[in-house]
Structure formats: structure tokens, C-alpha cells
Amino acid sequence: MTAFDDHVQASAKLISERGGPHPPRVAVVLGSGWGGMRDSVTRAVDIPYAELPAFPEVGVAGHAGTLRLGMIGGVPVAVLAGRQHTYEDGRPDAMKGAIRTLAALGVGMLVLTNAAGSLKPAMGTGSLMLVSDHLNMVQRTPLHGEPGSQRFVDLRDAYDPPLRRIAHAVAARLHQPLHEGVYAWMLGPQFETPAEIRMLRTLGADAVGMSTVPETILARHAGIRVLALSLITNLAAGLDSEPLSHAQTLAAAQAAGQRATQLLAAVVPALA
């Protein structure tokens, strides 16, 4: 057993001990704007990432670093508030320990949420987008060093079509418009140039952000089904005259956060 495996086992053990009788079935990673969804968790037990050796150290303003266990609509869930981004220290496998721990606990579905810029003027600030596919523009992998043929992960339908159908049905029931499109992963932390955004549009991207893709790859490698949702916090660089900043992202995320978290809290139990 490697130290990494030890950390995963120790994290899974602590979560099982603290989390009560029902192991989580669905896990959620909360990005900017999605944090209010934690309030929908009943019988909540919080564990700081700092107590879970396989979990990352998280630093970015607006991201906590707490695992919340509990129930949503009768379904046992694990909600991860806080993620480590590849741009923080250059490691695309920053979330590997956390996602392996979820797999060790038997989690079958992972909902990844993020804030993103829109490449489509018709999908404006405050819109919600279901990710249908991604472009790994960073061309880095969280699977570096993985042994065996399992590392050659099939990413067709990485964003699980049946889970996407459920999300659309829930959005329709709530009368919430839900776009669907391709998410391009850019490393950041700098925002894109207008020329890069024109490139991404040409390549078929609908939204751009700095997370999610390595987590999707890790989850698919671990056999976990993935759903991903973007909260559009701005039109991407060059599409309007608004200057881009992290403060603007957080302000827009907060403004649209209630709708986003309401949809998410309804989608999660519908998946199980």
C-alpha cells in the first residue's frame, strides 16, 4: 500500500465512522455560487478537509474546505465545499484523493458544479448550463503515473446521458431554463484573451472555466457517473465590455446562486 492509498483508506474510514449508518450515494462538488446548496442537507455532519488526509488544502476566497454528510430528499449525500484547482500549484490530480475516497465509500454518482464564462451571447450572466462534453484545452491529465489498462479511460458520454435527461426533467418541472453545452477547461488563473475566446468558439466551446475537467476524468477512471453544471457568471472576454475579475465572478455567482442551488438540491435526489 502506498501512502496515497493509506490516506484514502483513512479518509474513508473516518467518514464512515462520523457519517452515520447510510454511506453516501451521490456526491457533489460545490463551485462558486453553488455553496447555498449545503443548507438543503439535513442531519448534516461536517468534517473539515484538514481532518481527511486524502482531501486537498483549499485556499481560494469563496471556497471553504468542508465535507458535509447528510441527507437530501431521503438520499444520503456527501457535499464537498471547496476544491483545489490545477492553477493553484500546477497539479491536475489535486482532487484525486478526494474522488478516490468517494469511490471507496461506494459513491456512484458525482455532480460537479462550477462558475464559467459564456461564449454564447444568448446564454447570459446568471444562466445555468448542463455540461454535455468538454474540451481539455490544458492537455494535462490527473492520471499521470496510473498503472494498467484502466488508465485509458473512455470519455465518450463522460457526462452521463441518462443523468442529463433527469436534470433536464427536474429543471422543466421547476420552470428553470437549463442550457446544455461544451465546457472548455483553461488553466487560469488569468482570464482568457479575446483571441483565445474566438479560438474556443471556433473549436466548439459554449462555456469556459478553470475546473471540473480533471475531476470528471478522475471520476470516470474510478467508475463514478458524472453530471456537471455551470453557473454563467459573465460573457467571456471580448463578448462584452465588462472587465473580468474574481470579485465580479463571485458577485454574479452570488446573485444567481439561489436559483442554482434550488435546482441542484432538486436534481441530486432525483438522480438516486
Residues annotated as catalytic (active site), given as ranges? 32, 63, 85, 87-88, 115, 210-211, 234, 246
Taking CB under 6 A as the rule, does residue 213 contact ligand HPA? no
Residue 104 binds ligand HPA (CB under 6 A): no
Which member of 27, 47, 210, 227 binds ligand HPA (CB under 6 A)?
210
What's the gap between Cα 44 and its chain centre? 20
Minimum CB separation from ligand HPA for residue 39, in Å?
23
Residue 191 makes contact with ligand HPA by CB under 6 A: yes
Q: Of 82, 92, 209, 214, which one interacts with ligand HPA (CB under 6 A)? A: 209
Backbone angles phi, psi at 195, to 5 degrees: -65, -40
**Exposed (0-12), middle (13-18) or buried (19+): which is 121, by Cβ within 10 Å?**
exposed
- Pick from 236, 260, 265, 271 the residue near ligand HPA by CB under 6 A: 236
Give the x-and-dash track for 238-257 against ligand HPA (CB under 6 A).
Answer: ------x----x--------
Quote the longest CA-to-CA distance of the chain: 53
125 is a site residue for ligand HPA (CB under 6 A)? no
DSSP-derived secondary structure letter, 161: H
Q: What cell numbers appear for 71 in the block?
A: 441527507
Residue nearer to ligand HPA on the CB measure, 57 or 242: 242
Please identify, among the stretches 7-15, 160-168, 230-238, 261-269, the one whose residues bind ligand HPA according to the rule CB under 6 A.
230-238
Cα–Cα distance list, 2 to 35, 177, 208 (Å): 33, 46, 36
CA-closest candidate to residue 212, choices 236, 228, 197, 201:
228
Neighbours of 247 (CB within 10 A): 10
Binding site for ligand HPA (CB under 6 A): 115-117, 186, 191-192, 208-210, 233-234, 236, 244, 249
